[in-house]
Amino acid sequence: MGIVSSHVRDFEVMCGHHYLFSHEGLSSTWYLFHEITIFKADVVELVEIGNGKAMVVSTSVRISLTRLYIGLTLSTIVPLLDKAFSKALEVTRDLTNKIIFQKIKERKENKQNAIPVNEDSLHKHTQSQLQKSAFMDLLVEEHLKNNSLSENDIKQEVDSFVFAGHDTTSVTMSWCLWMIGLHPWIQDKIHEELDIIFGEDDRESTVEDLNNMKYLECVVKETMRLYPPVPIIAREIRNDIQYGKYTIPKDSTCVVYAYVLHRDPDVFPDPERFDPERFTPENSAGRNPFAYVPFSAGPRNCLGQRFAMLEIKILLSSILRRYKMRSLDPRDKVHTLAEMVLRPSNGLRIQVRRRDQSFDFHSVYYRPPEESLVSQLKIT
């Protein structure tokens, strides 16, 4: 949490300076996933990797993940093609290896060339550096300081951070903004909550502020219910399991289809309706914890889920404190594509305006809140 909170103001400045929120961006219609992925690359550079290589890393990660998905799919159908998956995995691992080794080399050279300073100045400089260090910088620093982390340990941690959290966060933010833009009455509630927390103060968010964004968190959770970032979760069975009259043999692979699981009407009545109130404490009480698994569940759940939720809340609140959304594609016209993450097959069109500006709402027709779906769009 310390790494994230030290960069909160930077996140908010990024929002203000990003193309989407420029004069040109605010007068345009744009595709969410593409733009949010670019925005996420800035976060990769700021918090996770550093060193000015964010776009290279972001692009390489997306290519690598696509190759991994294709290789894994083909090798499942035709085992002889397993080499395609292995090759993609090798390329993927090589990417972070190069970045980490370069980072360690740079740090060692910097230490050797360092000019001695007095202890007080050094302490202040070190504290300042730590407050703005990227995640990988802190790991490398720990490695060089007492070698408690090996280079391989650093690589595994960075792989988890970058690859597991790259498109998952980007696609979740995209689905969230799109759903918020489809439901103006829900967007109004988010704006109201943010206004209560911040008033007219333009200060940066604090940990307490983030914890007070209860309704926004419900919106994020409901979005991930309908559009789980990882729609399919696979687990290898370690021992034979008897399930009713069926035996699931050891070493077989079981798949949990979260996209379907989250639409169980016994757990989530009227499951296609977008209703953030499902995740208020009173409505969540007594719900089976395995009925909702956007971050997986059990001993192998996502270790970065708290970081992911904080990152999403920081970025969404930074945007929604200043802007409002209007989505141009109704739900029945948007089709999903289940790859490594759940993507929109043809993008998500959205318009952004400053909160003191108005949309030409007469050109877009929404069903009232009690209806399940926004299904009709007319642009005159």
Which residue ranges make up the annotated binding site for heme?
Answer: 302
DSSP secondary structure letters along 105-157: HHHHHHHHTPPP--HHHHHHHHHHHHHT--HHHHHHHHHHHH--S-HHHHHHH
Spatial distance between the Cα atoms of 288 and 302, rounded to a whole number of angstroms: 18
- What whole-number distance in Å separates Cα of residue 223 and Cα of residue 359? 24
249/237 Cα distance (integer angstroms): 7
29 Cβ contact partners less than 8 Å away, ≥ 6 residues apart: 328, 349, 350, 351
For residues 293 and 375, give the distance between their C-alpha atoms in angstroms, rounded to a whole number: 27
Q: Extract the tokens encoding 249.
A: 């043999």
Strand-pair partners of 233: 256
Measure the CA dihedral 315/291/62/2, to 10°.
40
Binding residues: 302
Q: How many angstroms separate the CA atoms of 144 and 112, rounded?
A: 12
Outline where DSSP puts E strands in 201-346: 232-236, 241-243, 246-248, 253-257, 323-327, 336-338, 342-344
Query: For residue 254, what are the contacts with CB-CB under 8 A and spacing of at least 6?
Result: 234, 235, 237, 248
Q: What angle do CA 178, 180, 183 make, to 5 degrees?
A: 110
DSSP label at 204?
A: P
